[in-house]
Structure 1
Amino acid sequence: MPRLLVTGGAGFIGSNFAHYVINNSDYDVIVVDKLTYAGNRASLADLPEDRLTFVRGDIADARLIDDLVGNVDIVVHYAAESHNDNSLDDPRPFLHTNLVGTFALLEAVRKYGKRLHHISTDEVYGDLAFDDPNRFTEATPYNPSSPYSSTKAGSDLLVRAWVRSFGVAATISNCSNNYGPYQHVEKFIPRQITNVLRGLRPRLYGEGRNVRDWIHADDHSSAVMTIIEKGRIGETYLIGADGEKDNKTVVELILTLMGRPPDAYDHVADRPGHDLRYAIDSTKLRTELGWRPSFSNFEHGLAATIEWYRKNEAWWAPAKGATEAFYARLGQ
Structure 2
Amino acid sequence: MELEDTRCLFCNRNTEDGGHLFIRCKAVKEVWRALGKEGVRMAMQNFDAVGDVMDHLWSLPMEDRVQILYFWWEWWNERNRLRKNEGRTRPEEIVHRARTATTEYWDIVGKQNHSKPKEKTQWRPPEVDVLKFNFDGAFVPGGNQSAWGVIARDHTGDVVACMAGKCEHINDAFAAELQAAAGAMELATHLGAIRICLETDSQLLQSALLPKEPSFSAYASVLDDLKTQMSLWFSKCDVMACRREANAAAHELAKLGYECNVNEPTLWDVNVPPSVAGLIVKFTRVLASFGLDRWVPPLVPPISPMWRTHLAGPISATFMG
- TM-score in same-fold range (> 0.5): no
Which protein has the larger Cα radius of gyration, Structure 1 or Structure 2?
2
TM-score (norm 1): 0.23
